[in-house]
């Protein structure tokens, strides 16, 4: 059974690019674009890895991540956070919220794959 990745992102071009890259890697990719319902959808899917955008409609990626870390069922889920703003303050907020890895947009395909492979290696 292939590993599952949940991508919570609201930019269609980024959704398409990441989905393509990860599907070629043999990963099953589920996408969602609304921050308000993201945690409910994530629990329904039960992914092995979450790729989470910071700026989403309805609820920020930081809020979603904090809620995940407070729930025992998702506290250990590897989370790669994406942001268009690569300021150190954004990275610090993500680290305080419990992010596993952080990537600034735009990113290269190879950088995305390398990070996803690294995070997936932690999944039992």
CB atoms within 10 A of CB 6: 23
Residues 60-116 pLDDT 10s:
999 999 999 999 999 999 999 999 877 888 889 999 999 999 999 999 999 999 999
Separation between Cα atoms, residue 38 and residue 109, nearest integer Å: 25
Rounded-to-integer distance, Cα 89 and Cα 77, Å: 23
Residue-averaged pLDDT of the chain: 94
Q: What's the number of domains the chain is made of?
A: 1
- Asked if pLDDT for residue 124 goes beyond 80, the answer is no
How far apart are alpha carbons 101 and 107 in whole angstroms? 13
Which pair of tokens denotes residue 101? Answer: 């890895």
Residue 72 · residue 49 · CB < 8 Å: no
Task: Report the CATH number at residue 108.
Answer: 3.40.50.2300
What's the domain range around 54? 4-120
Measured between alpha carbons, how far is 94 from 88 in angstroms, rounded to an integer? 10
Indicate if the pLDDT at residue 27 is higher than 80.
yes
């Amino acid at each position: 059974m292939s590993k599952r990745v949940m991508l919570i992102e609201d930019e269609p071009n980024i959704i398409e690019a990441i989905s393509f890259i990860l599907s070629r890697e043999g990963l099953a990719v589920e996408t969602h674009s609304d921050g308000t319902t993201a945690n409910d959808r994530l629990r329904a899917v039960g992914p092995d890895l979450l790729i989470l955008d910071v700026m989403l409609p309805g609820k920020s990626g930081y809020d979603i991540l904090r809620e995940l870390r407070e729930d025992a069922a998702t506290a250990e889920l590897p989370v790669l956070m994406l942001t268009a703003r690569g300021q150190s303050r954004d990275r610090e907020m993500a680290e305080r919220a419990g992010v596993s890895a952080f990537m600034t947009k735009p990113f290269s395909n190879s950088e995305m794959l390398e990070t996803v492979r690294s995070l997936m290696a932690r999944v039992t």
